[in-house]
């Protein structure tokens, strides 16, 4: 029925390829392309059955991607490379009138800053070209935004308080590793935190607000207030929101090691001269850290990500908590992935399915909460990410 081109053969790309391959009634042809073709070939071999074609592409090079698209002619390009490639890949999609999807918003390489403004600026051009771009279709952003849309549609007249809580209570046994691309991850958590309150953004020092939050089947975990990209679109989509925050758990050891790396300058993105060659310390650090796709074996424990919401329904105060718990070892057993890659790749496949089956349609640039959450919520469980909900119970974030 449809042809997809997946760009990026890392931890998330592997899950997207596996999951698309398991839905042949929608994804009849799949190509996986990345900077290092050998990684695509390894994933294709693991999936087997000649389901996946592979190719080499430098997604920073718009002409190279255009050539690949013109040769393969996909119905949809799924970008699971890095946020740096969002704009060049959107340019290639515009030039070839191809639908586009990603899981993380654009970041310039030389400033550790993520904002939707660069991608929202493509709105008119995508509309005029008659194509669709779906931004942020992983777990967070992605499922957390669908959860919010589902809550708004079914349980609230007005959402007033939104807390997105993201816990990884897993143990991969490594001294220090990040669960998604180390460079992007460390840029995200070392920048200043930010949350939305009463119509404005409040900035805080990195990791300066934290508290224990109780997670289902896990217990209390210290959770740190960070800025996360879905907050930017959610407060626009739901203007009744008075406060929106994002919390993520970190273990004490992770924070201690990160502090040391920061203090010695290894997380810096300012180029330095090393033996006559210009290098970026954070890129060097990334090169010595484990790859996210290599963490699955032996990874134990669960992730728990959800939305805790307070607002008004029929004039009465209401609370709502919706979440998914995902088990690292179960993901590894199923497709050789760890849960952070899995929880990102499954929604990417399902978002692609929503577009390719016409359940989500339109022209222009969309954030995921702009689409009907119901068909997505109806299917996400069967693809591996079942959800739970609690209505009118005390919210753990407030305890």
Site for ligand NDP (CB under 6 A): which residue of 5, 30, 34, 114? 34
User: How far is 375 from 39, CA to CA, in rounded Å?
Assistant: 33
The verdict on 231 binding ligand NDP (CB under 6 A) reads no
Which lies closer to ligand NDP via its Cβ, residue 230 or residue 327? 230
Total interface residues for ligand NDP by CB under 6 A: 36
Site for ligand NDP (CB under 6 A): which residue of 43, 57, 167, 282? 57
The verdict on 59 binding ligand NDP (CB under 6 A) reads yes
In order of 220, 246, 329, the CA distances from 141 in angstroms are: 23, 11, 23
The verdict on 140 binding ligand NDP (CB under 6 A) reads yes
Closest CA to 16 of 380, 346, 381, 377: 346
Closest CA to 2 of 99, 134, 115, 116: 99
Q: Which residues contact 122 (CB under 8 A, 6 or more apart)?
A: 90, 94, 133, 365
Site for ligand NDP (CB under 6 A): which residue of 29, 62, 83, 161? 83
Closest CA to 324 of 270, 392, 253, 376: 376
The verdict on 368 binding ligand NDP (CB under 6 A) reads no
Tally Cβ neighbours within 10 Å of residue 254.
16
Q: How far is the CB of 78 from ligand NDP (least distance, A)?
A: 11
User: Site mask, ligand NDP, residues 342-361, x = CB under 6 A?
Assistant: --x-----------------
Q: How far is the CB of 392 from ligand NDP (least distance, A)?
A: 28
The verdict on 11 binding ligand NDP (CB under 6 A) reads yes
What's CA 214's distance to the chain center, in Å? 23
What would the DSSP string read from start to end of 95-144? HHT-EEEESS----TTS----SHHHHTTHHHHHHHT-EEEE--BTTTBHH
Q: How far is the CB of 131 from ligand NDP (least distance, A)?
A: 21
Tally Cβ neighbours within 10 Å of residue 224.
19
Contact 356, 2 (CB under 8 A): yes
Stretch touching ligand NDP by CB under 6 A, among 90-98, 146-154, 178-186, 207-215: 178-186
Which lies closer to ligand NDP via its Cβ, residue 2 or residue 337? 337
Site for ligand NDP (CB under 6 A): which residue of 161, 180, 250, 371? 180
Residue 142 region by backbone torsions, left for phi larger than 0, else alpha for psi between -120 and 50, else beta: left
The verdict on 80 binding ligand NDP (CB under 6 A) reads yes
Which lies closer to ligand NDP via its Cβ, residue 154 or residue 387? 387
Site for ligand NDP (CB under 6 A): which residue of 23, 37, 53, 60? 60
Site for ligand NDP (CB under 6 A): which residue of 20, 32, 81, 235? 81
Cis peptide upstream of residue 55 (ω within 30 degrees of 0): no
Contact 172, 11 (CB under 8 A): no
Q: How far is the CB of 394 from ligand NDP (least distance, A)?
A: 27
Site for ligand NDP (CB under 6 A): which residue of 1, 36, 128, 153? 36
| Phi, psi of 43, rounded to the nearest 5 degrees | -65, -45
The verdict on 232 binding ligand NDP (CB under 6 A) reads no
Stretch touching ligand NDP by CB under 6 A, among 51-59, 115-123, 214-222, 233-241: 51-59
Q: Torsion angle, CA of 252/187/227/9, rounded to 10 degrees?
A: -100
Stretch touching ligand NDP by CB under 6 A, among 78-86, 91-99, 199-207, 276-284: 78-86
Which lies closer to ligand NDP via its Cβ, residue 32 or residue 397? 32
User: How far is 334 from 354, CA to CA, in rounded Å?
Assistant: 23
User: Site mask, ligand NDP, residues 242-281, x = CB under 6 A?
Assistant: ----------------------------------------
What pairs with residue 79 in β-bridges?
7, 102
User: How far is 128 from 332, CA to CA, in rounded Å?
Assistant: 43
Element (H, E) at 60: none
Closest CA to 124 of 363, 395, 315: 363
Residue nearest to ligand NDP (CB): 10
Query: Which residues make up the interface to ligand NDP (CB under 6 A)?
Result: 7-13, 34-36, 39, 57-60, 80-83, 85, 103-104, 138-142, 180-181, 184, 291-293, 340-341, 344
């Amino acid at each position: 029925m449809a042809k997809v081109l997946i760009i990026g053969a890392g931890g998330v790309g592997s899950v997207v390829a596996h999951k698309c391959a398991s839905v042949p009634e929608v994804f009849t042809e799949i190509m996986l392309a990345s900077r290092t073709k050998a990684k695509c070939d390894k994933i294709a071999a693991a999936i087997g059955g000649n389901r996946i074609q592979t190719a080499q592409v430098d997604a920073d090079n718009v002409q190279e991607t255009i050539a690949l698209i013109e040769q393969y002619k996909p119905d949809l390009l799924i970008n699971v490379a890095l946020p740096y490639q969002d704009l060049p890949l959107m340019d290639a999609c515009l030039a070839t009138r191809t639908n586009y999807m990603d899981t993380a918003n654009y970041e310039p390489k030389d400033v550790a800053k993520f904002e939707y403004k660069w991608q929202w600026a493509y709105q008119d051009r995508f509309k005029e070209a008659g194509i669709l771009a779906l931004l942020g279709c992983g777990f967070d952003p992605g499922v957390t935004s669908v959860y919010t849309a589902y809550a708004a549609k079914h349980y609230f007249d007005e959402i007033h308080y939104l807390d997105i809580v993201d816990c990884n209570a897993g143990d991969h046994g490594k001294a220090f590793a990040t669960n998604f691309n180390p460079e992007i991850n460390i840029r995200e958590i070392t920048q200043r935190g930010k949350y939305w309150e009463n119509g404005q953004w409040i900035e805080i020092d990195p990791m300066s607000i934290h508290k224990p939050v109780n997670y289902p089947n896990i217990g209390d975990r210290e959770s740190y207030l960070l800025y996360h990209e879905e907050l930017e679109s959610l407060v626009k989509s739901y203007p009744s929101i008075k406060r929106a925050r994002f919390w993520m758990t970190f273990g004490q050891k992770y924070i201690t090691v990160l502090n040391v790396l920061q203090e010695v300058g290894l997380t810096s993105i300012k180029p330095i001269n090393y033996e006559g060659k210009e290098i970026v310390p954070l890129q060097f650090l990334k090169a010595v850290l484990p790859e996210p796709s290599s963490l699955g074996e032996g990874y134990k424990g669960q992730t728990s990500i959800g939305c805790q919401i307070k607002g008004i329904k029929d004039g009465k105060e209401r609370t709502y908590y919706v979440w998914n718990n995902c088990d690292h070892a179960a993901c590894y057993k199923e497709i050789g992935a760890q849960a952070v890659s899995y929880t990102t790749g499954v929604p990417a496949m399902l978002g692609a399915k929503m577009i390719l089956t016409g359940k989500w349609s339109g022209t222009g640039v969309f954030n995921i909460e702009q689409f009907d959450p119901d068909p997505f919520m109806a299917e996400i469980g069967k693809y591996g990410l079942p959800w739970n909900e609690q209505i009118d119970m005390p919210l753990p974030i407030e305890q």
